[in-house]
Structure 1
Amino acid sequence: MNAVIVAVSLMLALSLMRVHVVVALILGALVGGLVGGLGLEGSLQAFNSGLGGGATVALSYALLGAFAVAIAKSGLAHALADRALALVGRQGSENSGLKWLLLGLLLAVAVASQNVLPIHIAFIPLLVPPLLYVLTRLRIDRRLVACVLTFGLVTPYMFLPVGFGSIFLNEILLANVAKNGVAVDGLSALHAMAIPALGMLCGLLVAVLFSYRGKRDYDLQRIAQVERAGARYSRATLLVAGVAVALAFVVQLWLDSMIVGALAGFLVFSLSGVVRWREADDLFTEGMKMMATIGFIMIAAAGFAEVLKATGQVQSLVDAAAGWIGNSKALGALLMLLVGLLVTMGIGSSFSTVPIIAAIFVPLGVQLGFSPLAIVSIVGTAGALGDAGSPASDSTLGPTSGLNVDGQHNHIWDTVVPTFLHYNLPLLAFGWLAAMTL
């Protein structure tokens, strides 16, 4: 029995049974390590050695939480939301125009976070929580919002060669395909990934037009308590907030550090007096608590991934898939995509999956007679599969961090399962289609 299959299956099964994701990751890692021959001590050692890999992201989330609470204190986000609330007040929950406007705004910002302003998930805890009150008044299903955000976080990097997409497509995907023996000169990664990206778009349309088009009710009182719906603001506090947000983004882009960017923004609030010195400690702690769960999941996920790598059975899984394929192109494409899905859901990063699978899948693709463009599409899609739908991926953890500030959005059943069904299944179908037609 392959340790990767056992570990990922156990982790997913426990998560679906509503066992906390951190507990599921730890138990999955230990059982996977035992199956992989590491023993209990070796499994713990590998898990502990990997924890540091998630510490930077966890601290970034904690500081972003503190920054988000400071923004709420200033009233900036609520000033922006008040105009929307006025429209809701006049037209009630039937204001479909405002619903599509808000969903379009969230989608546009998510897409821009991958290329125009490459801040990835940093915008979510700043923008989404203050809009929850408006979204709830409109009775919008948060599962739909999670699908919209995840689409915007994943599709641009797997399709558009700018920002994070330039890193994934050029520096990781094409570079690893070339490294393993296929000439990529003149190949367009955009062309190779166009059909898989179309699968993502189809999944989004199904979620928007069918799965979650109905209305869903949430407790407004819980949102009002968490989101300071009655927060007071003035021109001065709004100006300070605008300066703090701009400075945070500039510093993050300059130093490539969400930690320093969020800290700089929080300091602006403290030095300006919008957040009083005697309140700063409590606000900072409140924000860190808000993001603590997500941070610990990221830390545990890093340990989980390290155990999978230490067993050496990620490569064994890839090798086994190559042995099952034989000479069938159709079966070969399907199995390569399924292995990519399993590996990415366990590791939680498509960027880390491509180098692992390319070493076997590229020569295998050549042997089966796939064109260079089809090989790029297979490896790229296999890497991207699982990013949406993994409990440990920042593409799912990010939306949950914004939508669950009031405790009314479950990470597994309201983010992970919807994004898995609406993106991974179409991506499998369209990725296979691309492999067979390119």
Structure 2
Amino acid sequence: MLINATIFSILIMSILCLCRLNVLLAILVSALVAGFVSGLGFDRSIELLISGMAGNLETALSYILLGAIASAIARSNLTPILVFNIAKFIQNKRAMFCLSLAFFACFSQNLIPVHIAFIPILIPPLLPLMNKLKIDRRAVACALTFGLKAPYVSLGIGFGLIYHTILRDQLVQNGINVTLSDIQSVMWIGGASMLCGLLLAIFVFYRKPREYREDFATSHNLDSIKDITMTRGDYGVLIGTIVAFCVQLYMSSLPLGGIAGLIVMIALGGIKWNDIDLVMENGFKMMAFIAFVMLVAAGFANVLKETGSIESLVDFVSGVAGGKLGGILIMLLVGLLITMGIGTSFGTIPIIAAIYCPLALNLGFDAKAIILLVGIAGALGDAGSPASDSTLGPTSGLNADGEHDHIWDTCVPTFLMYNIPLIIGASIGAMVL
């Protein structure tokens, strides 16, 4: 097990990221390491990496289009008006600021399923306010990651419906007959565990004031935006955003929603014809890095699958699980390791369900306990993974002034605040159910 390609390559990736190597390069190096350790060779590893990138093409396209919508919104008066009202509501309450951001971020997964696209719109204009309040941005990162992850883990709405459907289908395929209502009845434990982590981050670990540089300039300050009113173009942007949301829901396609929203914004004057190139370019700048990291992460996952090391890792779990508690802890930790490398909970479920379902049945777990174990094992590692959009998204907004480190200020805090409570919550829940 010490030379298992999955374990070794993910450890390499983690070490490189902790040493502040660019996350894209860290994933590429780790993919080559996985191929070399497993005997695939560098040439075959690169082929698998490139072919596997197709697995996240729709996600990458969605991010680019949503980034363009974010750029259009950022150029309108919608952002300063929203910032002013948030600032007036928050006043001087650091904890209230973080809790409010977590609350609003939850809507990005269900009510308005734009996922991380709202972050580069909302967060950079709020950085001067955060500096004034001396808010530790690690707490804000934890708040944003909570909003990006807890809703899909615990609620069968929006992205949560997709996650719960994948979980149900994989369980049914492996002999566990469950319904979406069965999944909903137990996965709230994951959301409750993450809520505990959020409260610990805000009120215990990252509650102290923290100083940041004050030379970050935004186009608006609180005094200059209090009298801003909506224009015709602003209403065009707002209507385009609503259209993007409705098309996403009706067609179940983020790219189609993004295209429809941009077309409406152009038609209604929210985006002027001569500014289209600039809006698209700014949107690309906002989201391109995240999109490429997600593409390379999918390629890395393809390399790991081809090595056969994931199957051998899960088989190893089957052999050493022992009793119920030992089986729970090992299954959760292996799920954590796989998701840390792949960067997506949605892609981890199909990998682990085939082995975990019969293993859990052999250990005497009932259907609800199996739902919780497989669902949480898949979700573990999404918070804290350098390649996850749940961490890349918060960093994209909080590092607009270069004062927020992706690994030490986003990945490490979110890893500690959410993965540990999830392991504890899932272990207790599976033993009780």
Once the two structures are superposed, the pairs formed by residues 3-402 of structure 1 within 5 Å of their partners are 3-85=5-87, 95-96=92-93, 99-169=94-164, 171-184=165-178, 188-224=182-218, 234-236=229-231, 237-271=233-267, 275-325=271-321, 327-402=322-397
Say how many residue pairs are matched: 429
For structure 1, which segment, 244-253 or 385-394, has the greater mean C-alpha deviation from structure 2 after superposition?
Answer: 244-253
1:292–1:161 Cα change, 3 Å:
closer
Calculate the aligned-residue CA RMSD, in Å.
2.7
Give 1:140 deviation, angstroms: 2.0
Query: Deviations 1:361-385 (Å, cap 9, x if unpaired)?
Result: 1111121222322222211111111
CA contact (8 A) 2:125 2:220 kept: no
1:267–1:10 Cα change, 3 Å:
same
Query: Deviations 1:57-105 (Å, cap 9, x if unpaired)?
Result: 23332333333232222221112223455678xx6xxx11xx4554343
For structure 1, which segment, 69-78 or 31-40, has the greater mean C-alpha deviation from structure 2 after superposition?
Answer: 69-78
Pick one of 417, 431, 435 that aligns with 2:430.
Answer: 435
1:244–1:176 Cα change, 3 Å:
closer
Taking structure 1 as the reference length, the TM-score comes to 0.89
Give 1:186 deviation, angstroms: 10
Query: Deviations 1:216-259 (Å, cap 9, x if unpaired)?
Result: 23334324269999789553143233223223323333343433
- Give the whole-Å Cα distance in 1 for the aligned partners of 2:254 and 2:402: 25
CA contact (8 A) 1:336 1:382 kept: yes
Report % sequence identity. Answer: 48
Amino acid at match of 1:239: Y
Taking structure 2 as the reference length, the TM-score comes to 0.90
Does the residue aligned with 1:188 lie in a helix, a strand or coil? Answer: helix
Amino acid at match of 1:204: L
Amino acid at match of 2:121: L
- Give the whole-Å Cα distance in 2 for the aligned partners of 1:186 and 1:41: 43
Amino acid at match of 1:351: F
- Give the whole-Å Cα distance in 1 for the aligned partners of 2:359 and 2:85: 57
For structure 1, which segment, 352-361 or 280-289, has the greater mean C-alpha deviation from structure 2 after superposition?
Answer: 280-289
CA contact (8 A) 1:132 1:223 kept: no
Does the residue aligned with 1:235 lie in a helix, a strand or coil? Answer: coil
Amino acid at match of 1:134: L
For structure 1, which segment, 284-293 or 257-266, has the greater mean C-alpha deviation from structure 2 after superposition?
Answer: 257-266
For structure 1, which segment, 36-45 or 427-436, has the greater mean C-alpha deviation from structure 2 after superposition?
Answer: 427-436
1:316–1:229 Cα change, 3 Å:
farther
Give 1:174 deviation, angstroms: 3.1
Does the residue aligned with 2:113 lie in a helix, a strand or coil? Answer: coil
Give 1:277 deviation, angstroms: 4.0
Query: Deviations 1:276-303 (Å, cap 9, x if unpaired)?
Result: 4444423432331232221221121111
Amino acid at match of 1:206: L
Give 1:426 deviation, angstroms: 1.4
- Give the whole-Å Cα distance in 2 for the aligned partners of 1:425 and 1:53: 29
Q: Can you give the 5+ residue segments of structure 1 that lack an aligned partner in the other structure?
A: none
CA contact (8 A) 2:128 2:216 kept: no
Give 1:209 deviation, angstroms: 0.5
CA contact (8 A) 1:119 1:253 kept: no
CA contact (8 A) 1:304 1:347 kept: yes
CA contact (8 A) 2:18 2:408 kept: yes
Does the residue aligned with 2:215 lie in a helix, a strand or coil? Answer: helix
Amino acid at match of 2:312: S
- Give the whole-Å Cα distance in 2 for the aligned partners of 1:71 and 1:423: 31
1:226–1:410 Cα change, 3 Å:
farther
- Give the whole-Å Cα distance in 1 for the aligned partners of 2:157 and 2:280: 35
- Give the whole-Å Cα distance in 1 for the aligned partners of 2:379 and 2:179: 22
Q: Can you give the 5+ residue segments of structure 2 that lack an aligned partner in the other structure?
A: none
